[in-house]
Amino acid sequence: MEQRARVLIDCIDRKGLVYQISKLFYDLNLNIVSNREFVDKETKRFFMRTVVVGNFSTEELKDKLNSITKSDANIKVVPPAKKSIVIMATKESHALGDILIRHYDGELEANIVAVIANRDNLKDLVERFNIPFIYVSSDNISREDHEDILLKELKKLNFNYIVLAKYMRILTPKFVSEYQDKIINIHHSFLPAFIGANPYKQAYDRGVKIIGATAHFVTNDLDEGPIIAQDVTPVNHRLDWRDMQQAGRDVEKVVLSRALKLVLQDRVFIYGNKTVVF
């Protein structure tokens, strides 16, 4: 029976790679449905995302690709199946609500396993969509103890990514290392500008003419992880920082959903503190 797979290759560039890989697909009688490649000229790093259809063994295909790419290669052969996500939130509903609606309408290529929040005011919203809501209070407890409880809850679940939909707490290095390259955050600013708390107040004080949002992977450097997607909207002197915040919420939910779609479709390669996005 024919199967479809996304072939993801990240390796040192050298002459003839595209030809050799394409020839391998041809020799294995695989049809190339789509293909994108990119070479970082400064680092000589090669990236390729190809969708193939045919009869093949995943392990055999990976072995043959490894023999072509040789050293320092990262190769994945991924079936285009729905991934699973856990959403973490605090009390703002716009980013979470947008994801829930997209999931309900069948637009989100993922299963939402649960929503975990450190406040309970979003419980009714989440349960309207028949999705489990897990409340882990952060009141009167240290950050470390709170995260220990979170980690215990997460260990009970089977998922691919954690999505921070306005989860307004800084994660410790212990938590981040547990899910390295698996945590996606939406930051209410066009990074690298206005890092940290209340960026809209910072933007207002600076007199900016655009505000934006940035979706990125979480690292131990606050708001400085590899960027997946960004967007902006114009503002002017008539808006105070609260007006900017309201306008920014529309950008935030669109950018987060766009980034999530890219990740779920295996279109994002993390490379150092940057991404290659196909």
Give tens-digit pLDDT for 52-103.
Answer: 999 999 999 999 999 999 778 999 999 989 999 999 999 999 999 999 999 9
Q: Is the pLDDT of residue 25 over 70?
A: yes
Tell me, yes or no, whether 92 and 27 share the same domain: no
Are 51 and 150 in the same domain?
no
Task: Please determine, for residue 146, whether its predicted confidence score (pLDDT) is greater than 80.
Answer: yes
CA 90/CA 166 separation, integer angstroms = 6
Q: 192: pLDDT confidence band, cut at 50, 70 and 90?
A: low
How many Å from the N-terminal Cα to the C-terminal Cα in the chain?
Answer: 28
Q: Which residues are catalytic?
A: 223
* 152 and 72 belong to one structural domain: no
For residues 238, 242, 244 and 247, what is the CA-based torsion angle, rounded to 10 degrees? Answer: -120
Q: Work out the pLDDT band at 207, boundaries 50, 70, 90.
A: confident
55 lies in the same domain as 101: no
- Closest to 247 measured CA to CA, from 257, 239, 255, 259: 239
pTM: 0.91
* 93 and 157 belong to one structural domain: yes
pLDDT for the residue numbered 257: 96
Confidence of residue 195 (pLDDT cuts 50, 70, 90): low
On whether both 135 and 251 belong to a single domain, the answer is yes
Last residue of a domain, one of 54, 78, 102: 78
Number of domains in the chain: 2
The rounded radius of gyration (Å) of the Cα atoms in the chain is: 21
> Residues 146, 61: one domain?
no
Tokens of 249: 């919420």
Burial class (CB within 10 angstroms; exposed 0-12, middle 13-18, buried 19+) of 28: middle
Same structural domain, 257 and 120: yes
Same domain, 206 and 112: yes
pLDDT at res. 196: 61
Q: Has residue 243 got a pLDDT over 90? A: no
Q: For residue 66, what pLDDT is reported?
A: 94
Identify the domain containing residue 67 by its residue range: 3-78
CA distance 143 to 154: 16
Q: Tell me: do 191 and 102 sit in the same domain.
A: yes
194 has pLDDT over 70: no
| CA 75/CA 61 separation, integer angstroms | 10
> What's the token pair of residue 52?
């193939």
Task: Categorize the per-residue pLDDT at 274 as very low, low, confident or very high, splitting at 50, 70 and 90.
Answer: very high
Over residues 102-134, the pLDDT tens digits come to 999 999 999 999 999 999 999 999 999 999 999
Which of 21, 47, 78 is the endpoint of a domain?
A: 78
221 band by pLDDT with thresholds 50, 70 and 90: confident
Indicate the residue among 29, 57, 78 that finishes a domain. Answer: 78
Instruction: Flag the least confident range among 160-164, 198-202, 213-217.
Output: 198-202
Considering the domain architecture, whether residues 140 and 269 belong to the same structural domain is answered as yes
Q: What is the CATH number of the domain that holds 238?
A: 3.40.50.170
Domain of 19, CATH number, reads 3.30.70.260
Whether residues 172 and 192 fall in one domain: yes
For the cut 90, the answer to whether the pLDDT of residue 18 exceeds it is yes
